Structure 1
């Protein structure tokens, strides 16, 4: 029986971990979920005490400061959560000998137009990071802290994350589709959605394969936010007039990458891994939400 501590249990990935382990893996994994109010990862002494008491085999870190625009205004807090606390988890991983599973982001990459031509299948794991916003910068620093501190880790990068829980693009579009007849959606940012359920099932497989290192987990295909919105409304039979706009139509505090597709060749080479086409993933999620 694997004993796993789950940090950030109330988020999209945290809730999905609990659901999947409860449904399909309760006989092999004992999952101990902690929300940020149960155990704040920036309270080092409490984290240390809890880990020493529980003696986990695995720690799954779904806790993060994820408000990309808010991060620009709250730089100290963002770095504390996404970098400094992550370094402490890595140090504990080394000391207490547990596997650290940590989630990162497509925003570690620069996302320039040239890269879209260079990497039609997405950025490989080995491409040098060059984040263009503070959120991406702190997530990259967190990744580096893990790599430099413990070998016993899995760093999983995801992009455009959506699932049954929390707030995400799919749920926002469904809500706006009921409220409005017309919507403007950005058509000059390229990437691929990642479905929380698929992330967790692939992470469980990596765990069973005793893999370590950095992996990209996202769905197959390359689309814009406009393409994604159009598919959401088509599949859901919601009639909305959609207008394609550039990113300039929605000025944001934090700069967004033009291109942030993640290449998944590495994880596809792991026996038992299963990546889905973005449309298949969307149909499944919409079915679950309904």
Structure 2
């Protein structure tokens, strides 16, 4: 199987390529300088020449707040780029994994969203990712759509790195405590994606590390595990206004993973522990 990974300069794409290489797979990665996915003819030509067996599409416009003002760019990348890749995948009979997000949901209620719940995105970013889902479904008969949340990986910026950086100059931090979700360690997710793409178990899945927490609870766990003495003040979403509205409930059910024979990802606290070791340069 010849696997192509898009977005290798991002957190997830980087780890999918890394994990695939560790597993000895025939895996190839591209970034924006290798292929501009918003250019339809370039995408057609690239995929036709390469003829991958599978594409794991991690490239995305993920700046949630910037997307509110820069809708054209986010739409071009998340919707048009996905459409072109899906069409190109179909032309060479390649499998496609499209990475989506908890932001396709409105975050209402306190129960976990299931794969068949109707998306209702609150902002531009979530809308473009949902429209990307619809493009994949309209072009391909068989596909993988994987919704993830609260991503952290070694390559790129994330909440954990931000918390550790801020803790160097602060004695206390205000962190939102009424948004609930599941952190996702990209190295753990990468293994699952590579297992999926080698299967025929198509469909929409939710994938993140096990367990739920608030951002404030995540921050507290980060500092406890990192032995950082700092006070975390749990505040409301309204006390920390942002350009884009965040879903308060990002709980997603992973029952479909289990029913299709996939192993759930480890508990988020365990993932955090291994990630902090990785950040400190220790062996995983």
TM-score (norm: length of structure 1): 0.94
Q: How does 1:204-243 map to 2 (within 5 A)?
A: 204-243=194-233
RMSD, aligned CA: 1.1
| Distance in 2 (alpha carbons) for counterparts of 1:246 and 1:7 | 36
Matched, 1:93 2:89: yes
Instruction: Find the counterpart in structure 2 of residue 55 from structure 1.
Output: 51
Instruction: Find the counterpart in structure 2 of residue 69 from structure 1.
Output: 65
| Distance in 1 (alpha carbons) for counterparts of 2:188 and 2:168 | 27
Instruction: Find the counterpart in structure 2 of residue 3 from structure 1.
Output: 2
Check conservation: 1:94, 1:152, Cα contact below 8 A: no
Q: Secondary structure of the residue that 1:104 maps to in structure 2? A: strand
Deviation at 1:216, TM superposition (A): 0.6
Instruction: Find the counterpart in structure 2 of residue 110 from structure 1.
Output: 106
Matched, 1:23 2:22: yes
Matched, 1:83 2:74: no
Deviation at 1:211, TM superposition (A): 1.7
Deviation at 1:262, TM superposition (A): 1.1
Residues matched between the structures, number: 280
Matched, 1:183 2:173: yes
Check conservation: 1:6, 1:34, Cα contact below 8 A: yes
Q: Secondary structure of the residue that 1:128 maps to in structure 2? A: coil
Q: Secondary structure of the residue that 2:8 maps to in structure 1? A: coil
Gaps of 5+ in 2: none
Instruction: Find the counterpart in structure 2 of residue 259 from structure 1.
Output: 249
| Distance in 2 (alpha carbons) for counterparts of 1:262 and 1:22 | 30
Deviation at 1:212, TM superposition (A): 1.0
Q: Secondary structure of the residue that 1:276 maps to in structure 2? A: strand
Matched, 1:156 2:146: yes
Select the residue among 223, 240, 263 that pairs with 1:250. Answer: 240
Q: Secondary structure of the residue that 1:257 maps to in structure 2? A: coil
Between 1:78-87 and 1:126-135, the stretch displaced more is 78-87
Instruction: Find the counterpart in structure 2 of residue 135 from structure 1.
Output: 125
| Distance in 1 (alpha carbons) for counterparts of 2:124 and 2:221 | 31
Deviations 1:200-252 (A, max 9, x none): 11112212322211111012212100000000000100011111111122211
Instruction: Find the counterpart in structure 2 of residue 14 from structure 1.
Output: 13
Deviation at 1:4, TM superposition (A): 1.3
Q: Secondary structure of the residue that 2:167 maps to in structure 1? A: helix
TM-score (norm: length of structure 2): 0.96
Q: Secondary structure of the residue that 1:48 maps to in structure 2? A: helix
After TM superposition, the runs of 4+ consecutive aligned structure 1 residues lying more than 3 A away are: none
Q: Secondary structure of the residue that 1:178 maps to in structure 2? A: coil
| Distance in 1 (alpha carbons) for counterparts of 2:141 and 2:165 | 43
Deviation at 1:272, TM superposition (A): 4.4
Q: Secondary structure of the residue that 1:197 maps to in structure 2? A: helix
| Distance in 2 (alpha carbons) for counterparts of 1:247 and 1:31 | 41
Between 1:204-213 and 1:51-60, the stretch displaced more is 204-213
